[in-house]
A and B are shown apart, each in its own frame.
Chain A
Amino acid sequence: MASSYNAKEEDGHHSGASSGAGAAKNRKPDNTAFKQQRLPAWQPILTAGSVLPAFFVIGLIFIPIGIGLYVTSNNIREFEIDYTGESSNSPCYSCAKNVTWNSTEPCFCTVNFTLERPFESNVFMYYGLSNFYQNHRRYVKSRDDRQLNGDPSSLRNPSKECEPYRTSGDLPIAPCGAIANSLFNDSLVLYYIDSNNSQSEVPLVKKGIAWWTDKHVKFKNPGGNSNLTAAFQDLGHSTAKPVNWRKAVYELDPSDPENNGFINEDFIVWMRTAALPTFRKLYRIIQKKPGATPTLPSGNYVLHITYNYPVLSFDGRKRMILSTISWMGGKNPFLGIAYITVGSICFFLGVVLLIIHHKYDNRNTSADIPS
């Protein structure tokens, strides 16, 4: 930074100290292309004429892409239902009123809904939260990735970033931090009501909802997946469960040791903090049935909710979303519309430029080149 100023003073010193006359020999600069600034170069110039084709090409490429994206997006089935229960006529009203984050008793409610059209292929079930600031700075940093990676020392002594969810009493919390502490703990079960009014449970797959790398690399249980209880309880020091949790981390999914503790997929999904205050997270996958039957045929469904998660205190909303997925993900008309818009603008500008080019560019190039 200050170099050049100082260099100057130094130049003075040096020229004084060294003999000025001696250096006069052979001072002819090298005649290289680089030193003479004559490197061969491509010298493009943006003129109306030269960018014209680009505009048309962009227009011609973008518009079909946009149409394709838009059509794809429109073909996606999506169904969304809000089960927060803030209004008195909603089925979860009483649950919403009674549940607080430290209530011990679960509250149950059911929501009925109808799918007008059948959902083909795999259906993805999301829960959505609104007005929930998972991207708040205090929240985002309140985690200990070392602990989640199974580091025993971090398990005993979690990072400072986890405050105030670092210790409970004298015991370190595992998993520590605000993110883990506020794990979404509603459970959703979907029943199909067939024509003779009998409810059949829709099979929900809980595997494959988290990133593969998260599940297998980033998140690890301390001391392997076997005997989690010992790892969290006895390994010299025992750990406490997060304050808001009803059960400890090693009881998240006792049935499946590959989905328990830190590598529980619901937990991993929750730990990837959302970008915006209104977000959805993948909850379950409804696998496509073999044969031609749609995954979710049209008809009546009932959603059984174990209502544990309070959101009304911060004016939040909870939703359940069912969505099919295309190669470009869920329903999002934005990309298609944007492509069509930009493409048409380019095309339009191309026309404008064509006019300009014919009116002005030729005049400029031919008439006004000074000798």
Chain B
Amino acid sequence: MPCSKLKGICVGEENWVDSRTIYIGHKEPPPGTEAFIQQRFPDNRIVSSKYTFWNFIPKNMFEQFRRVANFYFLIIFLVQLIIDTPTSPVTSGLPLFFVITVTAIKQGYEDWLRHKADNAVNQCPVHVVQHGKVTRKQSRKLRVGDVVLVKEDETFPCDLVLLASSRDDGTCFVTTASLDGESSHKTYYAVQDTKAYNTEKEVDTIHATIECEQPQPDLYKFVGRINIYMNNEPVARPLGSENLLLRGATLKNTEYIYAVAIYTGMETKMALNYQSKSQKRSAVEKSMNAYLVVYLCILISKAVINTALKYVWQSDPNRDEPFYNQRTEAERQRHILIRAFTDFLAFMVLFNYIIPVSMYVTVEMQKFLGSYFIMWDDEMFDEELGERAVVNTSDLNEELGQVEYVFTDKTGTLTENNMEFIECCVDGHVYVPHAICNGQVMPDAAGMDMIDSSPGPEAREHEELFFRALCLCHTVQVKEEETVDGIKHGIHQGKSTSFYISSSPDEVALVEGMKRLGFTYLRLNDGQMEILNRENEVEKFDLLDVLTFDSVRRRMSVIVRASTGEVYLFCKGADSSIFPRVISGKVDQVRARVEQNAVEGLRTLCVAYRRLSPDQYQEVCQLLSRARLALQDRDKRLAEAYDLIEKDLILLGATAVEDRLQEKAADTIESLHKAGIKVWVLTGDKMETAAATCYASKLFHRNTQILELTTKRTEEQSLHDVLFDLSRTVLRQHGGMTRDTFSGLSGDCTDYGLIIDGATLTAVMRPGQEGSNSGNYKEKFLEICRNCSAVLCCRMAPLQKAQIVKLIKASEEHPITLAIGDGANDVSMILEAHVGIGVMGKEGRQAVRNSDYAIPKFKHLKKMLLVHGHYYYIRISELVQYFFYKNVCFIFPQFLYQFFCGFSQQPLYDTAYLTLYNISFTSLPILLYSLMEQHINMDILKKDPCLYRDIAKNSLLRWPSFIYWTVLGVYDAIVMFFGAYFLFDNTTFTSNGQMFGNWTFGTLVFTVLVFTVTFKLALDTHYWTWINHFVIWGSLIFFVVFSLLWGGIIWPFLNYQRMYYVFMQMLSSGPAWFSIILLITASLLPDVLKKVIWRALWPTTTERIQVGTNAGRNGELLYKIKKIFFLIVLWVFWNNCCN
């Protein structure tokens, strides 16, 4: 061992090894067995906090200033500090400081909470077995290799391998609700050889080491091996995820367990899963960044132009330094280049408000606060589940209004995933449970209708086997309490009530169906499955092995030994994965029935069996144990082993289970279609079932022409030909359609629906051998898809779903995609799509956890997109445009003023105005607008999905509208500046002859500015609640009150009093009032005119509906007023003309 110890010391380099060795109870293995590399493991301290007391300030500052915007403002602030700039550093320092401090306090507080939570977790007591006694330890002191005692309802302190439990069979029940939200109980198994050691004394005598992989975040994967030294003879046993108890999960229904710690602290799977998801950015954010770049260019060019002009202007020394305005000596000494550079920076500082700090704050506040409306939405609350919509990220609110493609899962999303057993068919004879009266199951009414009677003796045997197979071949648990939130199905069995629980609702439906047909699965007891058969006799089967279900194989098997001693393998799975492995049985009859059922939208499963001779069984056992012991590629080897075992099957029959459509699924899909969104269904189900669901959910209509791109077709023709065929069909139609593309959904042209299956998709996506051809396939495929109104992809593996999403995302138009699903198999596509939505279904919480938004039901997608998405998009696009607009209005007059003050960087406005303009005078109205605005009523948006098309393709943030806003801003700035200029032009405008100075000039411009900008927003507001009134008029009043106060007092802390009485003097002058009114009117005029004329001449659908509803509401009165007014106008005209 010395060598291993030596190695152990220099673990630093050894950390990379891909497996770790754990000594249970820290007992060294007997010498000479194997030289393990002892590693050093972290302690069990959970650190979810980011900062410590010491590094908080530097680390937090670093984090914050890593954002480009913050960094930009920091630079501006530093420039202001260093050089002599026109505005005091306070103007940009204060907002920045405010933002940084608020963020830091918020993050600090959150971190403090995390510290507290961490401490609570780290210090909570844990029972550890040491020297045969149970001692209490703080959780954080737990080390890898410690043997831990966990009692019922306690949470596991770290990742543990189960050694023994209070139950004789060495199992324990666990709920992982806090990990993945699945509240059903899961069974975990102790290592067979140690399950007998179930007191602390005995546990302490276990002498074993565990080899396992290094920690990895996948919750459902674990491979390891335990070496137990009995009499110094190592026995190796496999360890899998069924032995691994995860930190965060809770022990249920089991008195206590003993387990050994293998991953601790930050290496537990829970901790590893906290890695944040990759950042998704919305289209609005992208255009905002593009605008920022434009404005940055404008800013720099403004500064450059002004600097250049300054030096041209200054070339005359009498202008540069007239006798009344000399430089200091130090300034004169400075090199001209340094001076020019300083001037450039000073101009940058002067104009930097064009990119305001507050915009980022406002946008983030809008997103954050706005997302509450989604959570608060009563209509998206589901009574049944008791769940409401969840917002995991508020960054994508507006993206909901931009969706062009919806990728939806079928099971659990479109359908309820609430399975009901409909029928089974054994060798072509169909059995239907008849005990359904008005949808209610009659207790104890075990019987059936045989549609096709008279089975022969051989069939009788098959029938018996079939029912037993369905009773045995599953992983359903029987729960005898009703505390479970999961799937509850009461079975009355004597006195106690019990439920079937399973992670797969299909299995529950099947077992229940069997019960109705007379075979009741009672329990799994001591490795024996008990069945109550039709004659009310209990049959017992030894459960020898379970070949668990996975989505690649799409089947599962059990190996059982009947009381007669015969060993059976029962296999249940999708037809496509069973039929190729069947060697006998009435394949054709069953297949016909399966296909018929599939067309009706039922989920079908085939059941087959194989009788294993003792030799075969031995062989199977060896195959399995060898694969299970493997440390590397265990999954692959297991799959191979399963493949070898599940063969030569004899077909018994098939089952059909109905999965009902979610309520209003069809209505939702229709609305999405009308909204111009393409809906794709991606499912793992088989084509016929999926297609039936698609018809039922109105994805395909009766007149939809279905194009198939499936294995069946590609077997007949080459993929190449099929693709070109299809594209020709589609394009021919499309060519005829181009004429009226703009009319939207024209009724008479045929819709196309495409069905593609997983295998063909792989072929399409496969990087081609000839290089050029493959890209061609992809493009052809995309072209076909683009012209189809609906696409159904069946037989999809989870990764393929993501691939499809990626393919569409990367296509030319870069459409915005949305993926919606409820299961773990949808996670990849949810993460891939621009917006990922999780449905709170029955397949656990994985999808919800990884999604951006989660909704209780599929139908809520309609409101989510058509109402919330639409609103958020309208709101945020106005927010962004308005922010740039108001800052153009704000800064452009300063730019113009430079031409009249010798390019000396003299600010037009007072420091207080510069600072507060974006913070308090104009910030709240737009924020509240962007939270409250409803340009159209919610109900109309829902009723009329077409309106969604009006905002498609980021229409409100395109360059033309951006330019319009900017031009409007520049126009307003020019009106304001030159209006004031001509008013001031060499004259007085007071009645006592006194003159005003430059600060009055600035204040006049600023007053007009604040009012114009606020009124502009008021004109854009379509939804005036009292809050809007309060905020809009309130901020104007605040501006006036502030100005009165600011100029009303000699502020002792200021070393200038330039604003003293300026505002009041200005208001005491009549012409100032007149010019304020005039300039505001003149500034607003073009925008009003543009709005009105565009609305009259080129109205969008939205605008038409607005007018329509408005006319309906108060049209009557308005019409009369207009009529009278019209007459008056005519009369005035008439008189004028006559005179």
Contacts and interface: CB of A to CB of B under 8 A. Distances in A.
Interface string A202-242: 00000011110110011000000000000000000000000
B395 A4 contact: yes
Contacts of A370: 944, 946, 1101, 1104-1105
Contacts of B1075: 335, 338
Contacts of A43: 934, 937, 1022-1024, 1110
Nearest to B85: A137
A161 to B, nearest CB: 8
Given A27-B388, A163-B328, A368-B1104, A52 B394 contact: no
24 contacts: A1-B67, A1-B360, A4-B368, A4-B393, A6-B110, A10-B110, A16-B48, A44-B1024, A45-B1110, A47-B1095, A56-B1125, A65-B1074, A137-B907, A164-B328, A211-B994, A217-B1050, A272-B997, A273-B997, A274-B997, A276-B900, A314-B323, A328-B989, A328-B1074, A346-B1081
A266 to B, nearest CB: 13
Contact of A332 (B845, B987, B1057): B987
A48 B1085 contact: no
Main secondary structure of the interface of B (DSSP, over half): helix
B1105 A369 contact: yes
Contacts of A8: 276, 392-393, 395
Given A24-B386, A46-B1095, A124-B993, A329 B1071 contact: yes
Interface string A31-43: 1000111111111
A293 to B, nearest CB: 21
Interface in B288-342: 318-319, 322-329
B177 A19 contact: yes
A218 B989 contact: no
B1121 interface: yes
Nearest to B274: A12
A136 B906 contact: yes
B150 to A, nearest CB: 16
Interface in A250-303: 269, 272-282, 285
Contact of B1122 (A52, A244, A325): A52
B906 A140 contact: yes
B1074 A329 contact: no
Contact of B992 (A2, A45, A218, A325): A325
B53 interface: no
A47 B1114 CA distance: 13
A69 interface: yes
Contact of B906 (A135, A209, A365): A135
Interface stretch (B370-378, B409-417, B700-708): B370-378
B986 A278 contact: yes
Given A38-B938, A42-B1024, A164 B326 contact: yes
The interface centre, meaning the residue of B360, B381, B997, B1125 with most chain A CB atoms within 10 A of its CB, is: B997
- Going nearest first, the 8 A-B pairs with the smallest beta carbon separation are A182-B324, A329-B989, A275-B1001, A369-B1108, A124-B993, A35-B376, A137-B904, A272-B997
A326 interface: yes
B987 A329 contact: yes
A54 B594 CA distance: 72
Interface stretch (A106-114, A187-195, A350-358): A350-358
Interface of A: 1-13, 15-21, 24-25, 27-31, 35-53, 56, 58, 62, 65, 69, 100-101, 122, 124, 126, 128, 132-146, 149, 159, 161, 163-165, 178, 181-182, 208-211, 213-214, 217-218, 244, 269, 272-282, 285, 310, 313-315, 323, 325-332, 334-335, 338-339, 342, 345-346, 349-350, 353-354, 356-357, 360-361, 364-365, 368-370
B270 A135 contact: no
Contacts of A53: 1121-1122, 1125
Interface in B1076-1113: 1078, 1081-1082, 1085, 1088-1089, 1091-1093, 1095-1097, 1099, 1101, 1104-1108, 1110-1111
Nearest to A147: B1055
A49 B1122 contact: yes
A48 B1093 CA distance: 7
B919 to A, nearest CB: 14
A354 B1104 CA distance: 18
A280 B987 CA distance: 7
B695 interface: no
A48 B1125 contact: no
Contacts of B322: 132-133, 313-314
B387 A27 contact: yes
Contacts of A3: 103, 106-107, 364, 368
B1057 A149 contact: yes
B367 interface: yes
B373 A1 contact: no
Contact of A2 (B70, B178, B904, B1019): B70
B377 A357 contact: no
Given A4-B394, A5-B279, A282-B993, A149 B377 contact: no
Contacts, number: 394
B983 interface: yes
Contacts of B798: none
Contacts of B544: none
Tell me which of A1, A12, A42 has the highest count of chain B C-beta atoms within 10 A of its own C-beta: A1
B786 to A, nearest CB: 26
Contact of A133 (B177, B325, B871, B1121): B325
B993 A29 contact: no
Contacts of A40: 1025
A310 B1024 CA distance: 61
B985 A139 contact: no
A163 B386 CA distance: 73
Interface of B: 48, 63-64, 67, 69-70, 86, 99-100, 103, 106-107, 110, 114, 117, 121, 177-179, 181, 183, 248, 270, 273-274, 276, 279, 318-319, 322-329, 357, 360-361, 364, 367-368, 372-373, 375-378, 381, 383, 386-388, 392-395, 485, 845, 849, 871, 900-902, 904-907, 932, 934, 937-938, 944, 946, 979, 981-998, 1000-1002, 1019, 1022-1028, 1050, 1054-1058, 1060-1061, 1065, 1069-1071, 1074-1075, 1078, 1081-1082, 1085, 1088-1089, 1091-1093, 1095-1097, 1099, 1101, 1104-1108, 1110-1111, 1115, 1118, 1121-1122, 1125-1126, 1129
A137 B103 CA distance: 36
Contacts of B1097: 356, 360
A14 B946 CA distance: 40
A139 B485 CA distance: 77
A282 B368 contact: no
A136 B904 contact: yes
Contacts of B392: 8, 11
Nearest to A334: B982
Nearest to A28: B381
Given A137-B904, A276-B981, A327 B1070 contact: yes
A31 B378 CA distance: 6
A136 B325 contact: yes
Contact of B1023 (A1, A41, A315, A349): A41
A37 B934 contact: yes
Q: Which of A45, A329, A365 has the most CB of B within 10 A?
A: A329
Contacts of B991: 325-329
Contacts of B393: 4, 8
Given A17-B121, A47-B1095, A276-B981, A39 B1026 contact: yes
B103 A145 contact: no
A211 B1061 contact: yes
Given A38-B938, A44-B1024, A275-B996, A364 B989 contact: no
B1096 A48 contact: yes
A329 B984 contact: no
A354 B998 contact: no
B1108 A365 contact: yes
Contacts of B381: 27-29
Contacts of B1054: 145
Given A282-B995, A329-B988, A335-B1071, A138 B325 contact: yes
